[in-house]
Chains A and B, each alone.
Chain A
Amino acid sequence: MKINDVILRTISRIVVFIILTFGVYLFLSGHNTPGGGFIGGLVLASAIVLLYLSTDIETVQKSLPLDFKYVAAVGVLLATATGFGSILFGVPFMSQTFAYFDLPIFGVTELTTVTIFEAGVALTVVGVLVTIILSISEDGG
């Protein structure tokens, strides 16, 4: 059935970018201020789900050819690997570190290992959430 969803499509084309930007912002601000990998991941996933809703699964698959089960797996691997990495450096499990670097465009920037951990969390959330939504929609026939 083809429904007339011009309004939804037009708006979501703009809104998806706003949501994605907001998701990245939440993710980056995570470890010091409210936000973080989990919420950032949720917001990012909501943008992807909105894409699925406004177009259809095939179109999104074509432009975003990812198996979200593996996205989740990569996320968990990344998050646990940062924890495990601290074992290799001989400090307690899950220890995090940070330092300030003078980067060309950004100026003096704080880079932390916790961001890698948060990236793992975000990927896991996106992967799991999209997988759940997709498998529910598949079962509906």
Chain B
Amino acid sequence: MNNLIVLPLIIPIMVGIILVFLRPYVKLQRAISLITMIGIAVVSIFTLNRIQTDGIIRLDFAGWQPPFGILFVADSFAMLLVLTASIVTAICLIHAFSSIGERHEKMYFYPFVLFLVAGVNGSFLTGDLFNLFVCFEVMLLASYVLITLGGTKPQLRESIKYVVINILASWFFLVALAYLYGTVGTLNMAHISERVAEAGQGPLLTTISILFLIVFSLKAGLLLFFWLPGSYSVPPTAVAALFGALLTKVGIYALFRTFTLIFYHDPLISQTLIGIMAGITLIVGCIGAIAFKDVRLIVSYNVVIAVGFILIGLAVGTETSIAGSIYYIIHDMIAKAMLFLLAGTMIYLTGKSKIDEMSGLIRNYPLFGWMFFLVTCSLAGIPPLSGFVGKILVGQGAIESGSYVLLTLAFLSSIVVLYSLLRIFLNTIFGETIISLEDEKPMKMGMIIPIVLLGIATISLGLGAEFLSGYVADAAHTLSNPSVYIDAVMGGDK
């Protein structure tokens, strides 16, 4: 019994509801939501450390023993993601304070951000596949609101696509769940894993696993990402940053969980398929990142490239490569939030979104310019920044298992990321300034501070990789040895 691990889900929901009643008091809403996110970050650090000493923590709701009740399971992988998500959300909230505008703030912006966080945290923590569906829906409903809030024409156009594709994906999810329940007769993830192992992963279960692969790929933006660049480029900056940092990661998490815990018996099909999909995602994402001139689209295609890269770690499937992927997910949450904030701030400062319409921002805003350079280096994986460790471990794993094609694609994509971002950097930040001193919009402190905070985070994640390695190694160990997770859930009370 550990009620601690339900807090990342229940606190945001309850606080969000209380904020509904505090609608007119914008300043109070800001303070409460920020304190909540920091509080959850503290709780996750505490939980993460307890997992290192006590092993995986489990909470059976209302005391119903698994596999009968629903439950939350906190292992290092889940808690690392919850921790990163809370920190990134807190920082995005600080940006929202000065960028989102009072109109949004009075239309329940903060409650919906908190509901989104609750859905994300619930998805990371749940140990029940149907519960995962419910948490996905909580997250998606909040994201539907956040993407349409404001109601501009492009927002509505993209949100229709976003809503339709996600409802379709959720329907597929439900169908896949029904098939799985019909086949193995349980929804508890550890119990499913046991039963799949007993029955052997025959053609029927493999088909179901491919259905799950399609569902989570739609959510993660793996190969089926056609909806992503459009819908991530229309909402306000702080929302786009939250989406870019958190939403695809939940799909990626679900892919990692299902294909390491449940459907790991037939690597020929699942891993080959994931490998092919990740490879194509990388190639197409790279083409997109180079092809467009709109900053927001370039940045959104960079999300796609990262998804491809992370899933190469899963496709390779060794403990090293999975550890690399975990590092890279954490890095990508921070760096993508930073990149989206930078892109949005750039558009706010110049009023333009095409890279050939802007120039010389570094003369007006030197700190801003260097922050962009920092995130470029970080995403390209230049040491000692945070992208480096993940890339090197995924690469090492790929060499160990001889997946040279994926290895080549992964590292070529890093060069394309570097090129696509340097193109923004050279066009918009270097060169002659187009903004005269009189026209210069002052940089708001509330906009540059979160960017600097994320910059500090990416540097310290790179330098402090050693400090994090214990947690990541534990997470990778649990993912590559399903029995650890199963024992923690099905092994009775300790």
Q: Which residues of A come within 8 Å of B, CB atoms?
A: 69-70, 73, 76-77, 80-81, 83-84, 86-87, 91-96
Contacts and interface: CB of A to CB of B under 8 A. Distances in A.
A104 to B, nearest CB: 32
Given A92-B3, A93-B3, A93-B6, A80 B61 contact: no
A80 B14 contact: yes
Contacts of B17: 73, 76-77, 80
Contact of A73 (B1, B6, B20, B59): B20
Contacts of A70: 20-21
Given A70-B20, A92-B3, 8 more contacts: A77-B17, A77-B18, A80-B13, A80-B14, A87-B6, A92-B61, A93-B10, A94-B61
A interface, over-half SS: helix
Nearest to A75: B17
Interface in B1-28: 1, 3, 6, 10, 13-14, 17-18, 20-21
Interface of B: 1, 3, 6, 10, 13-14, 17-18, 20-21, 59-63
Contacts of B14: 77, 80-81, 84
Nearest to A87: B3
A92 B60 CA distance: 7
Contacts of A87: 3, 6
Nearest to B19: A73
Contacts of A76: 13, 17
A64 to B, nearest CB: 20
Nearest to A96: B62
Contacts of B10: 80, 83-84, 93
Nearest to A76: B17
A87 B17 CA distance: 19
Question: Considering residues A80, A84, A86, A93, which has the most beta carbons from chain B within 10 angstroms of its beta carbon?
Answer: A93
A95 B17 CA distance: 22
Closest 4 A/B residue pairs (Cβ): A94-B62, A87-B3, A94-B61, A93-B6
Contacts of A83: 10
A4 B352 CA distance: 58
A94 B60 CA distance: 9
Nearest to B2: A92
Question: Considering residues A70, A73, A87, which has the most beta carbons from chain B within 10 angstroms of its beta carbon?
Answer: A73
Nearest to A73: B20
A84 B6 CA distance: 9
A92 B13 contact: no
B63 A91 contact: yes
12 contacts: A76-B13, A76-B17, A77-B14, A77-B17, A80-B13, A81-B14, A86-B62, A87-B3, A91-B1, A92-B62, A93-B10, A95-B62
Contacts of B18: 77
A92 B21 contact: no
A81 B18 CA distance: 11
B63 A69 contact: no
A91 to B, nearest CB: 7
A65 B20 CA distance: 19
Nearest to B64: A92
A86 B10 CA distance: 12
B20 A93 contact: no
